[in-house]
Amino acid sequence: MRLAVIGAGAVGRSVVELAGEYGHEVVAVADSSSAVVADGTAGAGADGAVGVDPDAVVARKAERGIVGDDDPDDALAADYDVLVEATPTTLDDAEPGFSHVTRALERDRHAVLANKGPVAERFGDLRAAVADSDGEIRFEATVGGAIPAVSTVEDIEPGHVTAVRGVLNGTANFILTRMAAEGLDYDHVLAEAQDLGVAEADPSFDVDGTDAALKCVILANVLSFGAADDPADAREFTLADADVEGIRDVPGSALRLAAEDGRTVRLIGEATGDTVRVAPRLVPENGTLAVSGTQNIVQIETSHAGRLNISGRGAGGPETASAVLGDVGRLE
């Protein structure tokens, strides 16, 4: 497939670097201020493949802060099969990601999202755009990095899934894991996580539960729209529908008390077709939900097959790019 990769952060760059290994070709890359579009000869190999040179894109981004000398709009207009939306997640109108995806759909092209905004905040609008298009959307990379949460729910079929819950934010999980292991308070561990690059300078998106809530909102939309016979009957969720509590107020003493009882605290998100909740919860210390560090876990409760647990790396460039390229493979 010919890919246009919009967004050149860790995920976008990894998609550019790995696409060839998965048998795909990158024909355009854009960041917010620049782009490179294959001119029909650049990178042409003996097999006639024509694409941008992945190494050159990554080098230009590192050295000059741009991906190429073209205009970002040229990448959106390029002749691709699949648009990969890997710009940063934005809330509310979810722009510019939402427009990138709908422009692809209007041209009857597919879109694969790593950007949570459009699927969390405007799922109904997206479904309507898909209904009018020959293109499809996929968004495995928006939930749990390398963990195949969305496609596993799709394979089981959303109507046979009663709930999905789990640990969906590695930063919050790293902080809770370290607080429990070292007996330290939140502020100490946050500073350590920031030094290690695990937490951002402004950590609120992770520690207030927003990121985990967006993932649960996406899962709730998958369950709700997937189970409805008519999309018009499906309930659409946005972040505003989520009941969210973060980890800032979890005292070190709570973790010490929990440990005396063989338990610990994890930031657990849960989605059903009716509700979305994220909050710190007590879980057994050696239990399935008590994944360590930056690991994520998803538990899928099914009608006929019991509970499935899937754990793995919930973030990271290559991990998330692997989910993006798995989605591209499903579109073939």
Q: How many CB atoms lie within 10 A of CB 113?
A: 28
Interaction pattern, residues 283-302, with its own copies; x per rule: CB under 8 A: ---x-x-------------x
Q: How many CB atoms lie within 10 A of CB 190?
A: 23
Distance CA 284, CA 287 (A): 5
Distance CA 100, CA 112 (A): 11
CB of 310 to its own copies, least distance (A): 5
Of the residues 125, 205, 330, 331, which one makes contact with its own copies according to CB under 8 A = 330
Residues 114-173 close enough to bind its own copies by CB under 8 A: 145-148, 151-152, 155-157, 159-160
Q: Is 312 in the site for its own copies (CB under 8 A)?
A: yes
Cα-Cα-Cα-Cα dihedral sign, residues 56, 57, 62, 63? positive
Residues 3-22 close enough to bind its own copies by CB under 8 A: 14, 18, 21-22
CB of 203 to its own copies, least distance (A): 23
Of the residues 191, 274, 309, 332, which one makes contact with its own copies according to CB under 8 A = 309
Residues 66-125 close enough to bind its own copies by CB under 8 A: none
Distance CA 5, CA 8 (A): 8
Contacts of 220 (CB under 8 A, 6+ apart): 237, 241, 271, 272, 273, 275, 276
Question: Active-site residue 215, yes or no?
Answer: yes
Q: Is 258 in the site for its own copies (CB under 8 A)?
A: no
Among the listed residues 215, 263, 266, 277, the single catalytic one is 215
Contacts of 313 (CB under 8 A, 6+ apart): 145, 146, 147, 294, 295, 296, 319
Q: Is 304 in the site for its own copies (CB under 8 A)?
A: yes
Helix/strand/coil for 236: coil
The contact set with its own copies (CB under 8 A) reads 14, 18, 21-22, 145-148, 151-152, 155-157, 159-160, 286, 288, 302, 304-313, 316, 318-319, 321-323, 326, 329-330
Catalytic residues: 215
Residues in binding site for L-homoserine = 200
